[in-house]
Amino acid sequence: MVMVRAFKGVRPKKELAESVASFPYDVITSKEAREIAKGNPHSFLHVGKSEIDLPEEIDLYDDRVYAKAKENFEKMIREKTLIQDPAPYLYIYKQKMGDHEQYGLVACVSAEEYKRDLIKKHELTRKAKEDDRTKHVLVLNANAGPVFLTYRDREKIDSIVCKFVKENAPEADFVKEDGIGHTVWVIRDQNLIEELSGEFAKVDALYVADGHHRSAAAARAWEERLKQDSSPSIDKEYNYFLAVIFPSKQLKIMDYNRLVFTLNGQSKEEFLKRVKEKFDIIAENSGPSPKNMKEFGMFLDGKWYQIRAKAGSFPAHDPVEGLDVSILQNNLLSPILGIGDPRTDNNIDFIGGIRGAKELEKRVNSGEGKVAFKLHPTSIEQLIDVADAGKMMPPKSTWFEPKLRSGLIVHLLD
């Protein structure tokens, strides 16, 4: 069973919600954030990427960056751009991208349950990013950005959420400049809050879909606060962190593609010959997108190839080694192109599927990259299987869209 907990959310005034809502800290650069937030003092980027209010040359991990985030956050509360709810509530957050819609429950989840793996992970984290987000949480005394969680579908939860959104007006409803719609409802009814909490108590586990650094940082912040507390209590807010929890069937995972800057000293012909050892070339001058798992689009010398991993070239029943990203890495990127550790190798870059095949073509045609690979998206079932096995996916295995906006609901640790 897992715990979901109502909390006194800190939210923008209704008329400012669109102005406040911002991209997560880790999907745009500081330069992009400066441009987006220009002329908008309400943007939550002033909290999530507070370096935009400091000299451009400042180190992102400088103490002044965290101090500025705290200053900006407190100013938004003081000026009532953000207002804390008077009682603990649950919230529903709907996102709409084209024809795709997803409805998540905004709640607090237990840091202790995260440490006990009732909230399961599928990716490793990087220490520098984890340190950064831990400090951000502790200095702000708040979870500024939610963790994106999922769970195996429960029809009862779906029906409660569906009924509520049909019968109640939203508190915020807007479409951002990228065309993605965001809608927030507030659940104030204590009986309904208890009913939803009871239904989640029947859920075996939650899964981190997106936000591994935020969740790891939240758990570390909890440990720090616990050490400093002379009278700890499970009722204290620092035991919990902010999450948006979606049923797995609603989630949209896009492909996470690879751009490689070298052919590892090989000619095009030599490279293709080696590729054919582990892959069948099933089409040339084809479209970029693979139709099935274990197939890959490969862009080389101005032309798309469709390649398929040969049977027996990978352990089909291993939840990690049987993933498309693992097959590509183990059978092509590492042995043929010399990409040993994709986390640290400077000869590879990762392109989220939201940018499309045109971005891959552009960067190869410009001469920047030598070859690009378009992958079939990892499925949510594969993600859950890996997490249940206690294993980790290779880096950059999943790209979730749409991204959660920050600033719509914030959780204070006190």
Is position 144 within any domain? yes
> In the prediction, which pLDDT does 130 show?
95
Is position 391 within any domain? no
Beta bridge partners of 10: 84, 410
Q: Are residues 76 and 178 in the same domain?
A: yes
Tell me the residue type at 405: R
Angle of helix 155-167 relative to helix 190-200, nearest 10 degrees, comes to 160
Fill in the DSSP letter of residue 378.
P
pLDDT tens across 36-84, in order? 999 999 999 999 999 999 999 999 999 999 999 999 999 999 999 999 9
> What's the mean pLDDT in 346-368?
93
Q: Categorize the per-residue pLDDT at 286 as very low, low, confident or very high, splitting at 50, 70 and 90.
A: confident
Report the distance separating Cα 285 and Cα 411, nearest Å: 51
> In the prediction, which pLDDT does 94 show?
98
Task: List the one residue out of 296, 275, 276, 297 whose CA is nearest residue 288.
Answer: 297
Q: Are residues 14 and 50 in the same domain?
A: yes
- Token pair of 346 as six digits: 């400077």
- Token pair of 153 as six digits: 């579908």
Give the structural domain span for 10: 4-252+401-412
pLDDT tens across 215-245, in order? 999 999 999 999 999 999 999 999 999 999 9
pLDDT tens across 8-17, in order? 999 999 999 9
> What's the mean pLDDT in 189-202?
97
Q: Are residues 236 and 262 in the same domain?
A: no
pLDDT tens across 387-406, in order? 999 999 988 899 899 999 99
Q: Are residues 235 and 310 in the same domain?
A: no
Domain count along the chain:
2
Cβ atoms of residues 254 and 351 within 8 Å:
no
- Token pair of 359 as six digits: 């971005």
Q: Are residues 111 and 197 in the same domain?
A: yes
Q: Are residues 185 and 270 in the same domain?
A: no
Q: Are residues 151 and 25 in the same domain?
A: yes
- Sequence-ordered alpha helix ranges (H) in 176-285: 190-200, 212-228, 268-278
Output the average pLDDT for the chain. Answer: 96
Report the distance separating Cα 61 and Cα 66, nearest Å: 8
- Token pair of 132 as six digits: 């950064």
pLDDT tens across 123-145, in order? 989 899 999 999 999 999 999 99
Cβ atoms of residues 106 and 244 within 8 Å:
yes
Length of the chain in residues, anyone?
414
- Token pair of 122 as six digits: 């599928």
> In the prediction, which pLDDT does 396 show?
87
Q: Are residues 262 and 163 in the same domain?
A: no
